[in-house]
C-alpha cells in the first residue's frame, strides 16, 4: 500500500510537469524562429538582451490574447520586416536560396547516375 501511494504521488507530479511543459512549447517554438535583431546569429529564444526579453514577453502576451502562431509572425513581420523570421518565404528575392540546394542535389544525383550507367555499359 505504501509503495502504491508513492507511485501515485510520482505519477501525479509527472503529469503536472507534462501539462506545464506543453503550455510553454508553442511560445518557445515561436521565439526559436525569431531572429534577435540586435544580437547577430542568435534567436530571440537564446538571447537575454533587453530586446529579446521584451519580445518574449510580447509573444506570451499575444498568445494569451488568443493569437495563433501565424498571426504573431505576421504582426512582427509588419513591424520589423521579413528578416525577423528564420524561415524565409519563397519569393522573388529568396528563390535562389531555396532552389540552389535542390539544384545541387539533382546535379549530384545526375553525375552519380551517369557514372553508374556508364560503368554498367
Partner 1 sequence: MKIRIPFLFLTIIFLVIFFVFYKGLQNSNIYTPNNNIEKDLPNFQTKMFNEDREIFLRDIFKKDKFYLINIWASWCIPCREEHSFLISLSNLKNIEIVGLNYKDNSKNAKNFLKELDNPYQIILSDKDGTNSIELGAYGVPESFLIYNQKIIKKIIGPLNNKSFIEIKKIIK
Using CB under 8 A, list all residues that contact partner 1.
37-38, 40, 50-51, 53-55, 57-58, 61, 79-81, 83, 104, 107, 110-111, 114-115, 118
The whole-angstrom separation of Cα 77 and Cα 80 is 5
Q: What is the nearest approach in angstroms of partner 1 to the Cβ of residue 94? A: 14
- Min CB(37)–partner 1 separation in Å: 6
Q: Which is nearer to partner 1, 16 or 83 (CB)?
A: 83
Question: Rounded to the nearest whole angstrom, what is the least distance from the CB of residue 4 to partner 1 in the complex?
Answer: 47
Q: And the C-alpha cell for 99?
A: 532552389
Output the smallest distance, CB 40 to partner 1, in A: 8
Output the CA–CA distances (angstroms, integers) from residue 1 to 6, 8, 36, 61, in the order listed: 9, 11, 53, 45
**Whose Cβ is closer to partner 1: residue 13's or residue 108's?**
108
**C-alpha cell read off for 44:** 530571440
Greatest extent of the chain over all pairs of C-alpha atoms, in Å: 75
Indicate the residue among 50 and 87 with the shorter CB distance to partner 1. Answer: 50
Q: How many CA atoms lie within 13 A of 24 on its CB side?
A: 9
Amino acid at each position: 500500500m505504501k509503495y502504491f501511494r508513492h507511485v501515485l504521488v510520482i505519477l501525479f507530479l509527472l503529469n503536472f510537469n507534462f501539462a506545464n511543459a506543453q503550455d510553454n512549447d508553442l511560445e518557445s517554438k515561436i521565439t526559436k524562429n525569431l531572429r534577435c535583431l540586435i544580437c547577430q546569429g542568435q534567436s530571440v529564444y537564446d538571447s537575454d538582451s533587453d530586446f529579446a526579453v521584451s519580445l518574449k514577453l510580447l509573444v506570451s502576451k499575444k498568445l494569451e490574447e488568443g493569437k495563433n502562431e501565424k498571426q504573431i509572425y505576421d504582426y512582427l513581420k509588419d513591424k520589423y520586416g521579413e528578416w525577423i523570421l528564420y524561415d524565409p518565404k519563397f519569393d522573388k528575392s529568396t528563390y535562389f536560396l531555396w532552389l540552389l540546394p535542390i539544384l545541387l542535389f539533382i546535379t549530384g544525383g545526375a553525375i552519380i547516375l551517369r557514372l553508374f550507367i556508364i560503368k554498367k555499359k
